[in-house]
A and B are shown apart, each in its own frame.
Chain A
Amino acid sequence: MKKFAKLTALSLSIALLLTACGKSGGNVGGSASNPQSGNGSVGQNTAGTPKEMVVFSPRLDFQTMDVQNTPSIVTKSIYYLVYNTLVEKDVETNTVVPALAESWTQDSGTEITFTLRQGVKFHDGSDFTAADVKFTYEKAMESAGSATKLASLERIDTEGDYTVKVTLKSVNMDFLDLLTDPSLSIMSKTAFENLGEEKGIQQGTGPYKYTEWKQGSYLELEANEDYWDGAPVTPKLRVQYISENSSRLIAVQTGELDFCQDPPGSELPNIAANKDLRLITYPSATVDFVAFNVNEAPMNNPDVRKAIAYAINRQDIIDGVFLGNAIELNNIMHSSNAYYSEIEGTEYNVEKAKELLAKAGYADGLTLTLATNTTSDSQAACTVIQALLDEIGITVKIDVMENATLTATMSAGVGYHMCYSRWSGYAFGPDTGIREMLYTGGSNNYAHYSDPKMDQMIDEALTIEDNAERMAAYKAIEEYSDEVMAVYPILVENYTFVARKSVQNILEPNGPIMNLREVAAYD
């Protein structure tokens, strides 16, 4: 597929050129604005009738209706349309706000009492009550895909129909954040009993309801006219699966799609120059990083790790590989997290890199392996790193593996010095992500780093009740992580949407979760 990429770029350029020449009145590429400057809700008039059906194509296919058992963020973004969670995240203020729970009180570090919204109905007509919350969370505790999120949950008690009391095993200040994960969307106990599991699971309280699913082609949603927060503007939403990013872009150009996610990166300038299209960018939820496998000498030497970090120029990767469509990241934590704070980090400094390498006893250089997967971005990024490390005398052998092989290799922790990988760096709350990356035995700990001090810091930060103190604790963890340099965070790629000019209100995503609740197109 890789050799096709260039051909695609070529043919798309021709396509964009053709449409530009055909339609615009001599304004080709002239006053094009900066391709990064799009925004969903800027400068649009809402006059006119909304289109009956808005069709969009995400990056990946809608996976399953099994709400509690999928890690797929595209799928979770659909759940965000069909269901509600007890509490939600407000992206602007970066705080947890009421949803199905109208309010809550934190009685102690381990006890929270939720007061539920009254008069909310599920799509099948059943009433939303405390029993549904208890049912949903108890089901989640049993399901493999969600159990870890509720690992700290001891017990749920209902008091009447609209009060739920949650008791935790230990203090977990991330608990409310975890509840905003669409995997923990509230499902209807009554619907499960009356309609059976398969139909029951499809009944949410959200602004849209499922109508038709043609697996591998499209999923159709219909507006829930009785939605408690006001019915959505667009009567029908269709989620169309087109796996090829170039095909997706063309379908937006032809008008068959109203908008799509992730067009080919090389086409961004052309999209900006096309007067029918609009580019909308948000930072994505993924973090690209290099992990140093401390199992393999000499990566157990912090000086070597640090030297490599100093020798990598993030900007070179951003410009060379992502054509500027990414932002630098110094932290393990994603920059959109509420507990993110700027740290000094390890900046590009060849002199320091050479110095540290000499100190470690490798002044004459050494040879290291860098494992990565087959995606062209990863391979290109590795090539940039290879060239950069060559400058400090490190010869890098890039080991390209099929993704499954790579994950297995990285999990086993044998046979590579470094790996370039990407993870969905946005977690619900600050703890999960850092724990997965740096805690002993963490599921994404591809550095195989194990450090009692780090573990203790992570455990403690989870239980700090004072917000400012907690903030400081996570900053300390980030600084310590930068010091020991087991994982070198590199960048966050931008999330891009291409929309026809008629499309409005593609709102800022909540981390990985797209917010399409208010999306509309006006003819």
Chain B
Amino acid sequence: MHRYVFKRILLLIPIMLAVSFVVYFIVDLAPGDDIDAIYGNELTAEQKDELREELGYNDPLVIRYARYMGKLLTGDMGTSSFYHEPVMKLYFSKFPATLNLAFWGIIVALLIAIPLGIIAAVHQNTLIDSASMILGLLGMSMPNFWFGLMLIILFSLTLGWLPSFGNESWTSVILPAVTVGVGQAALLIRTTRSSMLEVIRQDYLRTVRAKGVNERTVIYHHALRNALIPIITAAGTQLGIALGGSVVVESVFAWPGVGKLTIDAFNTRDTTLVVGCLILTTAFSSILMMLIDIIYAFVDPRIKARYMN
């Protein structure tokens, strides 16, 4: 078992190396750099070239990448050319807000998905089943930009219950979390449904029923428990994606998260910040995936068994 965990952690290294190189390479491919962005009107082309030479922008890609990675190992990800602040500091000032939103988003998604998924599975191929599926699909198809605005209009403007932007009190997270959660719920409803369907057909459930256990206990106690593993995996994956920050939701609710930071960095051609954000986001998502895999291994006897001998 330790071998599995160790192997899984070790796998992070090549993943991170590959990702960082790809990110660095792609950002480098894009024309224009932060010098253009900051000094677009202020400096002439020659002055900009001088500055590039001075900052080592003209060195070969591999050398620049090696230099970047060298600094990265010492915890230095460079300075944002737009904000004039260290990338690390900027990212970690935004990360808690993203984590907060991702967490509550997935909670909302699960609160919607598990009941709907179960109902759909129990009433397979009935009107109820189709209705829950359509409901889930609707959640996913609604652009969350629009849905977010609708929530703001209802709960902030008309009813005046909740704040429409920012992250200053605990009530601030409700609307963005619902927006994120509703979008994520569709996939989880499907996962719950199919996972439940698979379990419901198992022999042991028939045995349980034959023993006269009431249907409620059969579903919630015996079936759902066994169906949970794929649901947790799917939810984990969703959470991993959400860690990158939801650009749209963060924009609509002026939520100060890393998604917004990343996209703003793109728009201002703040290449150092773009590279930093992408690498850090990937790192967190990879670590999360790793944790899920490890937890999964502990929970699922089949994986455990493979590494036993």
Residues on A lying within 8 angstroms of B by beta carbon are: 1, 3-4, 7-8, 11-12, 14-15, 18-19, 22, 61, 63-64, 66, 69-71, 144-149, 214-218, 240-244, 246-247, 250-251, 253-254, 256, 402-405, 407-409, 411, 423-424, 436, 441-444
A-B contact count (CB 8 A): 153
Distance of A148 Cα from B90 Cα, bound (Å)? 29
Distance of A441 Cα from B90 Cα, bound (Å)? 36
Do the beta carbons of A18 and B256 come within 8 Å of each other?
no
- Given A61-B264, A64-B84, A250-B164, the answer on whether A404 and B32 have CB atoms closer than 8 Å is yes
- Given A69-B84, A409-B31, the answer on whether A240 and B41 have CB atoms closer than 8 Å is no
Distance of A441 Cα from B46 Cα, bound (Å)? 9
The B interface, classified by DSSP as helix, strand, loop or mixed, is: helix
Do the beta carbons of A4 and B145 come within 8 Å of each other?
yes
Distance of A66 Cα from B85 Cα, bound (Å)? 10
Do the beta carbons of A256 and B163 come within 8 Å of each other?
yes
Do the beta carbons of B83 and A215 come within 8 Å of each other?
yes
Contact size class for B? 35 or more
Do the beta carbons of A253 and B157 come within 8 Å of each other?
yes
* Chain B residues with CB below 8 A from A3, complex form: 143
* Chain A residues with CB below 8 A from B143, complex form: 3-4, 7
Residues on B lying within 8 angstroms of A by beta carbon are: 30-32, 36-47, 51, 82-85, 90, 93-94, 143, 145-146, 149-150, 152-153, 156-158, 160, 163-167, 248, 251-254, 256, 260-261, 264, 267, 269
Distance of A408 Cα from B46 Cα, bound (Å)? 14
* Chain B residues with CB below 8 A from A241, complex form: 254
Q: Give the Cβ gap from B80 to chain A, nearest Cβ, in Å.
A: 9
Do the beta carbons of A64 and B83 come within 8 Å of each other?
yes
Interface centre among B45, B47, B165, B252 (most CB of A within 10 A): B165
Question: Beyond A144-B39, A144-B51, A443-B42: 6 further Cβ-contacts under 8 Å?
Answer: A8-B149, A12-B149, A250-B152, A403-B267, A404-B31, A443-B43
* Chain B residues with CB below 8 A from A218, complex form: 166
Closest A-B pairs by Cβ, 5 of them: A408-B31, A404-B32, A408-B32, A242-B254, A7-B146
* Chain A residues with CB below 8 A from B83, complex form: 63-64, 215
* Chain B residues with CB below 8 A from A70, complex form: 38
Q: Give the Cβ gap from B257 to chain A, nearest Cβ, in Å.
A: 8
Do the beta carbons of A247 and B253 come within 8 Å of each other?
yes
- Given A18-B157, A217-B256, the answer on whether A256 and B146 have CB atoms closer than 8 Å is no
* Chain A residues with CB below 8 A from B260, complex form: 216, 243
Do the beta carbons of A18 and B165 come within 8 Å of each other?
no
* Chain A residues with CB below 8 A from B156, complex form: 250-251, 254, 256
* Chain B residues with CB below 8 A from A409, complex form: 31
Q: Give the Cβ gap from A202 to chain B, nearest Cβ, in Å.
A: 13
Distance of A71 Cα from B163 Cα, bound (Å)? 32
Distance of A243 Cα from B261 Cα, bound (Å)? 11
Distance of A22 Cα from B159 Cα, bound (Å)? 11
Do the beta carbons of A250 and B41 come within 8 Å of each other?
no
